[in-house]
Amino acid sequence: MLDLTPREYSKRSALTVNPAKTCQPVGAMYAALGIHKCLPHSHGSQGCCAYHRKFLTRNFRDPVMASTSSFTEGASVFGGGTNLKTAIKNVFSIYNPDIIAIHTTCLSETIGDDIPAFVATAQVPEGKLVIHANTPSYQGSHVTGFSNMVKAMVKYLAANSKTPNEKINILPGFVNPGDMREIKRIMKAFGQEYIMLPDTSGVLDAPMTGKYEMYPKGGTTVDEIIDSGNSMATVALGSFASSEAAYELEKKCKVPGKVLKTPIGIKATDDLLMAISKLTGKPIPAELEEERGQVVDIMVDCHYHYHGKKVAIFGDPDLVIALTEFTLSLGMIPKYVLTGTPGDAFEREVKFMLEEAGIDGKVKALGDLFALHQWIKQEPVDLIMGTTYGKYIARAEDIPFARIGFPILDRSVHSYLPIVGYKGAMRIIEMISNTLLDRQDRDAADEDLELIL
């Protein structure tokens, strides 16, 4: 299928082929679903909204609800103010959410619609709320959209009422509901109260009850978001997805923020645990220490499965940065590291890690999968790690492929199972090891097929 990708690397500035990202509203919609009883609203055409809902539904295999301003030719020329005001009125009277979280699309951004001005003259029922984030898709990526929406939650809602709540705000970043559950389990092990923002667990991994719920039980409540302004500190996981909201909380409510890596792998998880311990004065829970020991034991047991293997990693920047650190600690060689999201900080951070490890690798932000494929054609790797979109390269080059990140559209259950924390580290090692061992079995001649590897 990708057999015609040329080996010769051609520098491109105005053309993206096989993007390693999707558009801002996808991330904004995902973040908004992490508020309890929130209906995300897409201010643009129906097509955008349908695409974004479908994208999320395919990844999480759960229905994703969102409304749209349904732009027609008239709105495209004269602006979408009337459509938005009608939408707000209809959505509150028909679907009764506590809050509507509006994000823009390319079209409404290009027109220059002033959302706060429209909302100010809309009929918002008493006790109901409307927030918004600008999410033009010709800039950034779904991660930028997620970051913008989380920042908007803080900007609109967080308040310092001078009554400290002794809680820690956790901004988990663009991770799966299963990861959010795992981070909450870590906080519970510490016996520490927290506010997680946003929290899509219980929304996009809600149990089957036999009854349809428009607004499942999960999600951060509006009251919790308001109260986040009274917390003792904010721990923001993943600088690309979470730092903006943390800085906003610090600026608006004087809640000190600490930005850490997404806790993937031993070191990044250690850093999270140490930060919580330092902030709270509580010791590291014994059950988490035990899990760490298990990860180290697993690494000793099966290091020869993956040690020295070359890997190409692509996907969202926070996840890729943390995965690069983890694969380095496993003794692997991250040869190509790429994200579709723009950001010099990504390139700086990953290049630094590779240099420290003495690895001659290629690193790119705002890159595409065409570039990744060309690099792989020039010098192959032993393993590709990334989203579903990598499977075409894996097939063309016959390279083992481990699906990790967002989106994963052709496999299921991944969104329930964590890749963060020590439990997540075990899962990633299993994923890497078994993918490589499956390949070894597949390639072995009959006489070399071993029962024990």
Measuring CA to CA, which residue among 249, 175, 191 is closest to residue 408? 175
Residue with tokens 């990844």: 59
Q: Is 137 in the site for ligand SF4 (CB under 6 A)?
A: yes
Contact, 249 vs 227, CB < 8 A? no
- Interface with ligand SF4, residue 106, by CB under 6 A: yes
- The nearer residue to ligand SF4, 19 or 202, going by C-beta atoms, is 19
Judged by CB under 6 A, which of 105, 141, 339, 341 binds ligand SF4? 105
Contact 232, 138 (CB under 8 A): no
Does 416 interact with ligand SF4 (rule: CB under 6 A)? no
- Other beta carbons within 10 angstroms of residue 371's beta carbon come to 24
Binding flag, residue 48, ligand SF4 (CB under 6 A): yes
Helix (H, G, I), strand (E, B) or coil at 84: helix
> What's the token pair of residue 5?
């990708």
Phi/psi for 85 (5° steps) reads: -65, -40
Task: Give the shortest CB-51-to-ligand SF4 separation in angstroms.
Answer: 5
Shortest distance (Å) from residue 140 CB to ligand SF4: 11
Alpha-carbon Rg for the chain, nearest whole angstrom, is 22
Binding flag, residue 189, ligand SF4 (CB under 6 A)? no
Question: Measuring CA to CA, which residue among 218, 197, 181 is closest to residue 424?
Answer: 181
Nearer Cβ to ligand SF4 (57/165): 57
Binding residue for ligand SF4 (CB under 6 A) from 23, 149, 235, 350? 23
Q: State yes or no: residue 80 binds ligand SF4 (CB under 6 A).
A: no
435 binds ligand SF4 (CB under 6 A): no
Question: Which residue lies nearer to ligand SF4 by CB, 134 or 176?
Answer: 134
Least Å distance between CB 136 and ligand SF4? 8
Among 51, 247, 392, 416, binds ligand SF4 (CB under 6 A): 51
Closest CA to 40 of 200, 217, 252, 192: 200
399 neighbors 160 (Cβ within 8 angstroms): no
Q: How far is the CB of 261 from ligand SF4 (least distance, A)?
A: 28
Count of residues touching ligand SF4 (by CB under 6 A): 7
Which lies closer to ligand SF4 via its Cβ, residue 54 or residue 217? 54
Structure tokens at 393: 């390269």
CB of 382 to ligand SF4, least distance (A): 35
User: In whole angstroms, how close is the CB of 320 to ligand SF4 at the nearest point?
Assistant: 22
The count of C-alpha atoms lying within 13 angstroms of the C-alpha of 375, restricted to the half-sphere facing its C-beta, is 24
Q: Which is nearer to ligand SF4, 51 or 392 (CB)?
A: 51
Q: Does 19 bind ligand SF4 (CB under 6 A)?
A: no
The answer to whether 38 and 29 are in contact (CB under 8 A) is no
C-alpha closest to that of 111 among 155, 74, 163:
74
* Whole-angstrom distance, CA of residue 382 vs CA of residue 222: 47
Q: Which residues bind ligand SF4 (CB under 6 A)?
A: 23, 25, 48, 51, 105-106, 137
